[in-house]
Amino acid sequence: MTVARIACIVEGRGEAGLTGSSGAAEILLRRIVEVIDLDVRVQVPIALRIPRGSLIRRGGVEDAVERAARRLGGHGAIVVLLDSDDDPREPLEADLLSRARLIRANLPIAVVAAKYEFETWFLAAAESLAGVEGLPPDLRAPSNPEAIRDAKGWLGKRMAGGKYSATIHQATFTRHFDLQAARGALSFGHCWDEIARLITELRQPEKPDAGTEGRTEA
C-alpha cells in the first residue's frame, strides 16, 4: 500500500472540515483515489482554509503553497480547491497553478476551480443524493448544472428544511454523490483528471528542491 500525502488549500469551512472531522475536500480526495488506484491510501496532513479573495490576490496562493509545503515536510502533493465564482474557470486555474509552481516546483500541485461553486458537482449527480439530508426521493439533476449560478440555493429550495449549509451538509453530500455522474460536469472532470495526475506524479522519483535553499521545513 502506497501512502499519498496531499495537503489541501481550500476557501470554505465545509471543504476544510470542523475540528476533529474530515471536510469535503479530504473526503473527495479519498473517494476519487479509491477509484483511481486501490493500492494508494490518501493522508491529508492539513486542510488550510484561506478566504478566496486572499487566495487569488498576488502573494496569496504563493504564501498558502509555502505553508502547505512546510507542513508536508517538502514531501507529498498539494491541491488548491476553490470556486470559480464569476471568473472564467480555466484562466483562473492556469494563473494560480503557474504562481504556485514558482514557489514549489519540486512538488506535484493541482489547482481545481469548481464552475461557480463546489455544490455544482452535487447538481450534476443529483439523483444520487435523493433522500439525503431532506432532499426529495424523486430528485433529478438539472439539464445543465454548470449553467446554474446558485447551486447552494438550488439545493436549499429542495431540502425539507428549506436551507442548505455548506458547514452542515457539504461533507455528507460529498460522501454520497455519484462520482461518475458528476464527471458530466466539465469542471469535475478536470478535478478527476488532476487528482489522477497527482497520484501518477507521486509514484515517480521526487524532484530536487532547487529553489528552496535556506528554507527550514516544519
Q: What cell numbers appear for 130 in the block? A: 435523493
Arithmetic mean of pLDDT, 37-45: 93
- Angstrom CA distances, 65 to 52, 72, 170, 175, stand at 14, 10, 24, 26
| Portion of the chain with pLDDT greater than 70, in percent | 94
pTM here?
A: 0.92
Q: Where are the domains of the chain?
A: 2-202
Arithmetic mean of pLDDT, 70-74: 92
Position 30: which residue type?
R
pLDDT digits 0-9 by tens, 158-209: 999 899 999 999 999 999 999 999 999 999 999 999 999 999 999 887 766 6
Distance, in Å, from the CA atom of 76 to the CA atom of 43, rounded to the nearest integer, reads 10
Using pLDDT thresholds of 50, 70 and 90, give the confidence band for residue 18. confident
pLDDT digits 0-9 by tens, 111-137: 999 999 999 999 999 999 999 999 999
As a three-state string, the secondary structure of 3-56 is: EEEEEEEECCHHHHCCCCCCCHHHHHHHHHHHHHCCCEEEECCCEEECCHHHHH
Question: Phi and psi of 212, rounded to 5°?
Answer: -125, 30
With contact defined as beta carbons under 8 Å apart, do 33 and 127 qualify?
no
